[in-house]
Amino acid sequence: MMRFELSDACIDASALSRALADAGAGACVTFEGWVRNKNAGRAVHRLDYQAYGALAAKEGEAILAEARDKFPIIDARCVHRVGSLAIGELAVWVGISAAHRDAAFAATRFVIDEVKKRVPIWKNEHYADGESGWLHPDNTPVAT
């Protein structure tokens, strides 16, 4: 089963949460990354996400497998958008179910941090002044 997905359509967070349901789960923690209207003081109009699909899927699955090895959780899922996104849209969703909340919180943090660090996805910000630019993981611009 694929637990990590790239999606070019809107993410349905409530459907994804329901899919984590498990009789043994006492906790479900989800994280939503939203498109923000500002970065490093500049007004942002929209974002484009580009991915190396085949490798992103593999690396995303590897991160979720690591989360299941590292933390006592029941399930781990992640969906990341690709394509053009407007301000306020859901860009990335992480959901973890576990017997107890400590593991669910810790695994959620682990997954989103590793996804941002390792999965071959790139963000191109389009600014209000008409410029655009690819970003680094720390949200500083790639030098051109």
Partner 1 sequence: MNYRILYFASLRDAAGRDAESVASDTHDARELYAQRQREHGFVLAADRLRVAVNGEFAAWNRPLADGDEIAFLPPVSGG
SS3 call for 84: strand
DSSP 27: E
Q: Identify the residue among 20, 29, 106, 121 touching partner 1 (CB under 8 A).
A: 121
Longest dimension (CA), the chain: 52
Question: Any contact of residue 127 with partner 1 (CB under 8 A)?
Answer: no
The one among 55, 65, 86, 128 contacting partner 1 by CB under 8 A: 55
For partner 1, which residue of 54, 69, 88, 130 counts as binding (CB under 8 A)?
Answer: 54
Binding characters for partner 1, 11-50, by CB under 8 A (x = yes)? ----------------------x---------------xx
The token pair that represents 129 in the structure block: 């002044």
Among 10, 19, 43, 142, binds partner 1 (CB under 8 A): 142
Q: Phi and psi of 13, rounded to 5°?
A: -65, -40
Task: Out of 58, 68, 109, 126, point to the residue binding partner 1 (CB under 8 A).
Answer: 58
Tokens at 121, concatenated: 């996805």
Distance CA 21, CA 128 (A): 41
**Distance between CA atoms of residues 1 and 141, nearest Å:** 36
Judged by the rule CB under 8 A, the positions of this chain that interact with partner 1 are 33, 49-52, 54-56, 58-59, 80, 91-92, 112, 115-124, 134-137, 139, 142-144
